[in-house]
Amino acid sequence: MRVLGLDPGLRQTGWGVIDSKGSAVSHVANGHARSKGQKLAEKLASLFSQLSEIVDAYQPEEVAVEQTFVNSNFAGSLLLGHARGVAILAAARVGIPVSEYAATSVKKAVVGVGHAEKSQVETMVKLQLPNADIKGADAADALAIALAHTAISGFGNRLDAALAKAEREMV
């Protein structure tokens, strides 16, 4: 399964692509989409165009996006929400399923601790993807989101299979 992880931001959105087969994962690519323009609409259009190109180039089967954490800076949270919407739309426009994860869930899946530091997340991403040339913190976060998605969805798939098997055996 090919997964595109996205760490949305209005100025810069980190992205990372991994391939997953069973418990084995491998790095495909990573980088940043940097918004261009002065007005909000120009920035969003720029991000959408770049993210659409990434989706078209790498053909992910699934996309994982970090959820917005709303804090006391409501204006900043709203702008981040716009960037998330564009990121989700870039995948949804071609019918790719999109999953969303809280930052604490990503950290727990990748590091083992829900309140891990950014440096700990990047270290664990480098350990899990040793051949990756990571293009910065936002790209590392995007790869972490993709890794978390494979771990969480893999667990869900195994749980569903076990429940189905148990149900068949009860009949």
The catalytic site residues sit at 7, 66, 138
Residue 23 near residue 62 (C-beta atoms within 8 A): no
What tokens were used for 92?
């949804």
DSSP state at residue 6: E
| Residue 64, C-beta contacts closer than 8 angstroms, at least 6 positions apart | 3, 4, 5, 6, 98, 99, 100, 101, 145, 146, 148, 149
